[in-house]
Amino acid sequence: MDRKIQVLLDTVKRLLRRNAFPNLSNLLQKTHPADIAHLFRYLDFADQQKLFSLIKDVNDAAEVLTETEHSISAELLDELATEKAVEVLQAMSHDDSVDIIRNMPEEMADKILDLMQDERSEEIVHLMRYREDSAGGIMSTNYFSLNEELTVKQAIEALQEAKDAEMVFYVYVIDEYRHLVGVMSLRQLLTVPPHKVLREIVRGDVISVHADADQEDVARWVAKYDILAIPVVDEQNKLLGIVTVDDVIDVLREEATEDIYKMVGASEDELLYGFRAFKVASLRLPWLLVNLLGGVVTGYLLWWFQATLQEVIALISFVPVITGMGGNIGGQSSTIVVRGFTTGRIDFSTLPQVFFKELRVGMIMGVVCGSTVGAIGWIWHGNIYLGLVVCLAMMISMTVAATMGVMAPAFFKRINVDPAIASSPFVQTANDITGILIYFGTATLFLKYLSPAAV
């Protein structure tokens, strides 16, 4: 934690314990709303509520809620008088208001929408029709647009009078039916003759997204073309709103966090359950049961090869190495593929290249690691054939694990199952099973050379 935030948090906690609300109120007036929102992460709901009630400025309160988890923001507003909650929501941009209202109880949300100004309420209801994770769901409708028939001089005058428009770094040019005609930067607008008509100078190849586009796709487009905002259009190419770079940063952070949670079989919902152990356990348990089942199958295979084990007990020494290395390389490959699907760097057209690349990588690492552990087995147990079995099994299992790490995410992606949440436990379990089969299958083939009588 940042030193400044740590000091601020300690001060706030101390003042809360003393119920020194006048001092707290003065402190909050001097603190940036984003820092206040950051403090909420380390406070329970009762203290969050006390702190929020001390924020006098409506705009500051709105900004604090914008920077706070939407579910928590909804709970904090639910504790306020309805009129006060409406006042705070009206101080936000439409997209932020929508995110918070979506997390409110239906009765409370309806009451707030009824009390809002008609025009604003209609706008919010319209935005709520879009999926929360779509371009329409995260777009802002406070954008700046101009008719294509205006001159540059008229456009600059209109720009000087603009209020409450978000991200006025780009000027969006529309026709009389609100179709998106083009876009231009402020720099371009200020460097052309005043008498020029916008239609003549506007750039027509506009990078835009459909309102139903997934927010991950929107984030990729913004990152790919290095732009500060991207317009959102409907089926008729009518301009609906814009998604700004700050929203894209939130999307990237949200999606990355979600993927990390999923890949370890957890869920971001755990944060909402706080310290409720049974709730958290219920979220993690399904994927642990998958691994448990895999462990049982692995144990059965060991029992199945008991004759081989009884003949050459030294084989047991390398079981953890075979399964562990296969799991590691399989996990690395699956992580790369899942991340590639998420960022758009990998799709089904490039998957064969990725597969053969991981195959070669698995073979190279298998040769190096297999030779190393094979030499150790030979020296340790004094049997060159044991070293050869371990070497071959390691090479084959690591190669199989690397390709499994590519195929599993691709399979789940193809059947519309999130590869981030399904790949890791599947790859781990599959590699344990195949590793044991390969190791003891190879050992069984060389059994007559491994028995003590053969040494």
**What is the DSSP annotation of 316-374?**
GGGHHHHHHHHHHHHHHHHHHHHHHHHHTS--TTTHHHHHHHHHHHHHHHHHHHHHHHH
The structure tokens 């001092």 sit at: 23
pLDDT band at 92; cut points 50, 70, 90: confident
Per-residue confidence (pLDDT) for residue 455, from 0 to 100? 44
Per-residue confidence (pLDDT) for residue 250, from 0 to 100? 77
Select, from the ranges 153-167, 219-233, 353-367, the one with the highest average predicted confidence (pLDDT).
Answer: 353-367
Per-residue confidence (pLDDT) for residue 280, from 0 to 100? 55
Give me 447's structure tokens: 């059994």
pLDDT > 90: percent of the chain: 5
Per-residue confidence (pLDDT) for residue 264, from 0 to 100? 55
User: What CATH topology corresponds to 3-129?
Assistant: MgtE N-terminal fold (1.25.60)
Instruction: Over range 433-453, report the average pLDDT.
Output: 79
Helix (H, G, I), strand (E, B) or coil at 85: helix
Per-residue confidence (pLDDT) for residue 210, from 0 to 100? 92
Higher pLDDT, 169 or 177: 177
Select, from the ranges 101-110, 184-193, 302-311, 396-405, the one with the highest average predicted confidence (pLDDT).
Answer: 396-405
Per-residue confidence (pLDDT) for residue 233, from 0 to 100? 92
Kindly report, residue by residue over 59-68, the tens digit of the pLDDT: 888 898 988 8
Higher pLDDT, 167 or 158: 158
Per-residue confidence (pLDDT) for residue 421, from 0 to 100? 67
At residue 453, does pLDDT exceed 50? no
Instruction: Over range 283-290, report the average pLDDT.
Output: 67
Per-residue confidence (pLDDT) for residue 262, from 0 to 100? 59
Handedness of CA 109, 48, 31, 270 (dihedral sign): negative
Instruction: Over range 95-103, report the average pLDDT.
Output: 84
Higher pLDDT, 271 or 390: 390
Higher pLDDT, 97 or 301: 97
CATH for 145-245 is 3.10.580.10
User: What CATH topology corresponds to 270-454?
Assistant: Tetracycline Repressor; domain 2 (1.10.357)
Mean pLDDT across the chain: 81
pLDDT band at 119; cut points 50, 70, 90: low
pLDDT > 70: percent of the chain: 86
Instruction: Over range 341-363, report the average pLDDT.
Output: 84
Kindly report, residue by residue over 311-348, the tens digit of the pLDDT: 677 777 788 888 888 888 888 888 888 878 876 778 78
> Quick one: which of 56, 96, 69 has its CA closest to 254?
69
Per-residue confidence (pLDDT) for residue 232, from 0 to 100? 92
Kindly report, residue by residue over 256-270, the tens digit of the pLDDT: 666 666 555 555 554
Instruction: Report which secondary-structure segment, H or E, holds 188.
Output: helix 186-190
- Contact of 184 with 110, CB cutoff 8 Å: no
Instruction: Over range 232-250, report the average pLDDT.
Output: 86
pTM over cut 0.75: no
CATH 1.10.357.20 in the chain, residue ranges:
270-454
CATH 3.10.580.10 in the chain, residue ranges:
145-245
pLDDT band at 454; cut points 50, 70, 90: very low
Alpha helices in 19-81 (DSSP H): 21-29, 33-39, 45-53, 58-66, 70-78
Instruction: Over range 166-177, report the average pLDDT.
Output: 80
CATH 1.25.60.10 in the chain, residue ranges:
3-129
Instruction: Over range 2-29, report the average pLDDT.
Output: 85
Higher pLDDT, 7 or 345: 7
At residue 46, does pLDDT exceed 60? yes
CA distance 106 to 108: 6
Higher pLDDT, 2 or 18: 18
Burial pattern 357-370, b for ≥16 Cβ within 10 A else e, equals: ebbebbbebbeebb
Sheet holding 145-147, edge to edge: 145-147, 170-174, 180-185
Instruction: Over range 141-165, report the average pLDDT.
Output: 82
Per-residue confidence (pLDDT) for residue 284, from 0 to 100? 61
